[in-house]
């Protein structure tokens, strides 16, 4: 394997609140390799976005506090960079696409000039004319029709899908080597989502950027990701290639997610929900944070007392799971809904 | 806390032979657009534009569509939470179209609604007991000890515990709040519930809990559901029949099998094709229909077929003649001049990978 472009190492981030300390992410490790799409899945509050927001210094501090960790990008730790160094990286070599394009575009500036600004900010020698030309090229690339005219329109004159295209154009303006897409299609209707997925594929093809795709939408992950990080209660609980995660998951939470999904293409006999409620991140359960909801723990003491480390599985060691009893799942009835079933 | 029984098949086979509970004919709902100095009406948002549908006793009719298609307005108008502009609503053989608020009161005991957002639909200053008992009080059937027991029973029915009664909504998670909303809707033993995106605000593992709860309640209390949602997967799981809406109109309606396995309207086909499937094994093995453009404004819908501006099949006739919602020989109605079956969910057998 080539060297990773980005490595998150042992990252722990807390937020101080009136009710207590929220343990947003704890000891998170993962690598991002050149050209790949790494999917990050988990439910609300699982800490999906916190690690990337932290490495780009986009969490408010306070209340946020980085307890430990490194984010190694091209040999340098983003967490120890100065503000101005980080500003050069952000929007340049590492770019972001957010969920809500309405709040991430400036409503009083023309869409085109915001893209041009992104180009010029990282290419100080370019002229305004170059910026405009490049912005129009980018708008065309992401499928905005009549890009010349659209350049001079304001965000409110764009529909949701068009704004998201504008955001993607801005993100890829400086040919980033890392692209972070945080719930890029969540706010959009399904037919528009399908359009944006195509645009994301184009953007990735054009830039070859290694991409972190953060979403709760397992369908989007199944369609786009090469590898998948599964998070629960602020920790990575399973990591592998996308086929392994969907076809032979080895963490009870991942299995539970697959089993609770309704599918558009097959009639499932029953949905098997994960029982209980998501944990409090102020006082997460001791031991394995998933144990109160786990159908495989069966009350075993080890699950309550000992935090299960991420450990490799099978050949190659590319599949890791943080379950004390992951081997049992290999034999047990994992309902592999990733596998085909007659429609 | 009790969990809902897991091993349930959501869609109970209810034949369309069972008696009609709700009948809607030519339902129209326009919202006026005011403009100018004098606030004169300058136009209208045509949220619901001539909907006919029938809901049979005991069935679940799913209504799907994208934002702005009018599905929520349809649900609210059917319940008379907003007055219809035109058309007719018949519930339990009674024309309720022109009933006053007071006259609607006995009907409301039979016809309840669960809202999408469990954060906004529960009063934060009321305890769970007050919330769940409110319908009983409004209808004057809450009596001391009996009323308290009824609230406790309702909480148990939706998988909460009676001790939860004294707590406030903010003490609950999203899924639990939605259970409270369901308990409130159940309080008066309704015949029918309009479920407006009841699980869309919830995480997937919690969605399944609430979907199973709704299925169990339907069986236990012989409830009829109008299930409104944008999530085509959840709708497939819970519905007996499905109506697909676009710009205020029903494009296609049929049994679950007809809509998902043999859709004939291009919009239904595009919708199904656009849903990403939660299996990487399907990558590249499915036909993708990518629609161009956005949904037109419901204040200014296209002439003829409202879908024609995004439709790959559109011909001259589509701009001129509104396609009626009729059966073109496929066993279910479709509002397309060129209706024909196309199966965007099918995987080509030759390229389907073997089961792992």
Interface check for A274 against chain B (CB to CB < 8 A): the answer is yes
Which domain-ending residue is among A225, A253, A268?
A: A225
Same domain, A172 and A71: yes
CB B221 within 8 A of CB B186: yes
Which tens digits make up the pLDDT trace of A174-204? Answer: 889 999 999 988 878 888 889 889 899 988 8
The alpha-carbon gap from A280 to the nearest alpha carbon of chain B, in Å, equals 10
Higher confidence at residue B10 or residue B316? B316
Q: Which two tokens stand for residue A53?
A: 């927001």
- The confidence band for A246, taking pLDDT boundaries of 50, 70 and 90, is very high
Specify whether A279 is located in the same domain as A181: no
For residues A102 and A187, state if they share a domain: yes
The domain made up of B20-239 is a member of CATH 3.40.50.300: yes
pLDDT digits (tens, 9 = 90+) for B72-89: 999 999 999 999 999 999
Residue A341 lies in a domain: no
Tokens 């912005």 belong to which residue? A135
Per-residue pLDDT reduced to its tens digit, B151-178:
999 999 999 999 999 999 998 888 899 9
CA distance A140 to chain B (A): 14
Give the model's pLDDT for residue A21: 93
Q: Are residues A217 and A299 in the same domain?
A: no
Residue A339 lies in a domain: no
pLDDT at A135: 92
Q: Give Cα A123 to chain centroid, integer Å.
A: 28
CB contacts, 8 Å: B356 with chain A: 247-248, 336, 338-339
Write down the domain spans for chain B: 20-239, 264-351
> What's residue A162's pLDDT?
86
CB neighbours of B204 closer than 8 A, spacing ≥ 6? A43, A216, A218, A257, A260, A261
Which residues of B are less than 8 Å from A258 in CB distance? 278
Pair A172, A243 in one domain: no
- pLDDT tens across B329-356, in order? 999 999 999 999 999 998 865 444 444 3
pLDDT at A336: 45
Q: In this structure, are A74 and A193 located in the same domain? A: yes
Whether A273 maps to a domain, the answer reads yes
Answer whether residue A260 is part of any domain: yes
User: Both A239 and A221 in a single domain?
Assistant: no
- Domain of A316? 230-331
Are A150 and A292 members of one domain? no
pLDDT digits (tens, 9 = 90+) for A145-173: 888 889 999 988 888 888 888 889 988 98
Domain boundary among A202, A225, A248: A225
Residue A42 banded pLDDT, cuts 50, 70, 90: very high
A11 touches A25 (CB < 8 A): yes
What residues pair up with B133 in beta bridges, in sequence order?
none
Interface of A with B in 51-110 (CB under 8 A): none
Mean pLDDT value across chain B: 89
φ, ψ for residue A138, nearest 5 deg: -65, -40
Q: Are residues A118 and A264 in the same domain?
A: no
Roughly what angle, to the nearest 10 degrees, separates helices A160-171 and A128-141? 120
pLDDT band at A339 (very low <50, low <70, confident <90, very high): very low
Of residues B269, B258, B259, B245, the one with CA closest to residue B338: B269
The verdict on B170 touching A (C-beta cutoff 8 Å) is: no
Give the mean pLDDT of B44-69.
93
Chain A contact for B349 (CB, 8 A cutoff):
no
Domain boundary among A225, A244, A277: A225
pLDDT over 70 for what percent of chain B? 92
Give the separation between CA A27 and CA A8, rounded to whole angstroms.
Answer: 10
Indicate if A213 and A259 belong to the same structural domain. Answer: no
B160 vs A: CB within 8 A: no
Q: Looking at the structure, do residues A25 and A172 belong to the same domain, yes or no?
A: yes
- CATH code for the domain of A137: 3.40.50.300
CA pair distance A194, A17, nearest whole angstrom: 38
Among A286-290, B14-18, B290-294, top mean pLDDT goes to: A286-290
pTM: 0.89
If asked whether residues A146 and A65 sit together in one domain, one would say: yes
Count of structural domains, chain A? 2
A149: in domain? yes
pLDDT tens column, A254-304: 999 999 999 999 998 889 999 998 898 999 999 999 999 998 898 899 999
Q: Per-residue pLDDT for A217 more than 70?
A: yes
* Cα A339 to Cα A312: distance, rounded to the nearest angstrom: 23
Domain assignment of residue A207, yes or no: yes
Question: Contacts of residue A201 in chain B, CB cutoff 8 Å?
Answer: none
């Amino acid at each position: 394997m080539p060297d990773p472009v980005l490595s998150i190492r042992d990252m722990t981030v807390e937020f101080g609140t009136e009710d207590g300390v929220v343990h947003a992410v704890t000891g998170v490790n993962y690598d991002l390799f050149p050209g790949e799409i790494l999917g990050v899945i988990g439910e609300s509050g699982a800490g999906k976005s916190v690690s990337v927001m932290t490495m780009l210094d986009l969490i408010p501090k306070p209340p946020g506090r980085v307890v430990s960790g490194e984010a190694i990008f091209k040999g340098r730790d983003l967490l120890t960079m100065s503000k101005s160094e980080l500003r050069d990286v952000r929007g340049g070599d590492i770019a972001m696409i957010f969920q809500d394009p309405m709040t991430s575009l400036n409503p009083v500036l023309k869409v085109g000039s915001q893209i041009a600004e992104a180009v010029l900010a990282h290419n100080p020698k370019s002229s305004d004319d170059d910026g405009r030309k490049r912005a129009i090229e980018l708008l065309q690339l992401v499928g905005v029709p009549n890009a010349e005219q659209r350049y001079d329109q304001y965000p409110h004159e764009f529909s949701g899908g068009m704004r998201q295209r504008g955001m993607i154009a801005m993100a890829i303006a400086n040919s980033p080597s890392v692209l972070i897409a945080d719930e890029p299609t969540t706010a959009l209707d399904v037919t528009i989502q399908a359009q944006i997925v195509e645009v994301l594929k184009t953007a990735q093809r054009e830039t070859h950027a290694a991409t972190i795709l953060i979403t709760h939408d397992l369908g989007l992950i199944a369609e786009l990701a090469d590898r998948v990080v599964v998070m629960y209660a602020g920790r990575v609980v399973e990591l592998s290639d996308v086929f392994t995660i969907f076809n032979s998951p080895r963490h009870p939470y991942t299995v539970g997610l697959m089993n609770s999904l309704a599918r558009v293409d097959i009639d499932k006999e029953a949905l098997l929900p994960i029982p209980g409620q998501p944990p409090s991140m102020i006082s997460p359960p001791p031991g394995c944070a998933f144990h109160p909801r786990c159908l495989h723990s069966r009350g075993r003491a080890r699950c309550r007392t000992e935090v299960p480390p991420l450990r490799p599985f099978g050949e190659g060691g590319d599949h890791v799971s943080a379950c004390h009893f992951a081997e049992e799942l290999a034999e047990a009835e994992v309902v592999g809904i990733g596998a085909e079933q007659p429609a | 806390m009790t969990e809902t029984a897991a091993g349930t098949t959501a869609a109970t086979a209810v034949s369309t032979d069972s008696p009609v509970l709700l009948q809607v004919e030519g339902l129209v709902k326009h919202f006026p657009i005011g403009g100018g100095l004098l606030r004169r009406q300058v136009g209208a948002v045509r949220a619901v534009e001539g909907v006919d549908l029938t809901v049979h006793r005991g069935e679940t009719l799913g209504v799907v569509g994208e934002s702005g298609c009018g599905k929520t307005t349809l649900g609210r108008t059917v319940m008379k939470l907003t007055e219809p502009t035109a058309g007719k609503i018949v519930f339990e053989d009674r024309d309720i179209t022109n009933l006053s608020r007071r006259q609607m009161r006995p009907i409301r005991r039979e016809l309840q609604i669960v809202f999408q957002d469990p954060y906004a639909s529960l009063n934060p200053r009321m305890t769970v007991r007050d919330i769940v008992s409110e319908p009983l009080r409004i209808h004057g059937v809450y009596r001391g000890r009996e009323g308290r027991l009824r609230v406790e029973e309702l909480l148990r029915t939706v998988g909460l515990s009676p001790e939860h009664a004294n707590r406030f909504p903010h003490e609950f998670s999203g899924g639990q709040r939605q259970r409270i909303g369901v308990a409130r809707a159940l309080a008066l033993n309704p015949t029918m519930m309009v479920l407006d995106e009841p699980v869309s605000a919830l995480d997937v593992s919690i969605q399944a809990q609430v979907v199973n709860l709704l299925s169990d309640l339907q069986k236990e209390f012989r409830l009829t559901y109008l299930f409104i949602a944008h999530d085509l997967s959840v709708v497939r799981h819970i519905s007996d029949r499905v109506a697909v809406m676009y710009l205020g109109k029903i494009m296609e309606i049929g049994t679950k099998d007809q809509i998902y396995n043999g859709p004939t309207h291009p919009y239904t086909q595009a919708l199904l094709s656009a849903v990403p499937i939660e299996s990487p094994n399907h990558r590249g093995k499915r036909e993708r229909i990518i629609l161009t453009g956005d949904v037109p404004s419901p204040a200014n819908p296209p002439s003829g077929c409202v879908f024609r501006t995004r439709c790959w099949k559109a011909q001259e006739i589509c701009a001129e003649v509104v396609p009626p919602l009729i059966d073109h020989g496929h066993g279910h109605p479709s509002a397309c001049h060129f209706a024909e079956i196309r199966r965007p969910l099918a995987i080509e057998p030759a390229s389907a990978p073997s089961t792992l």
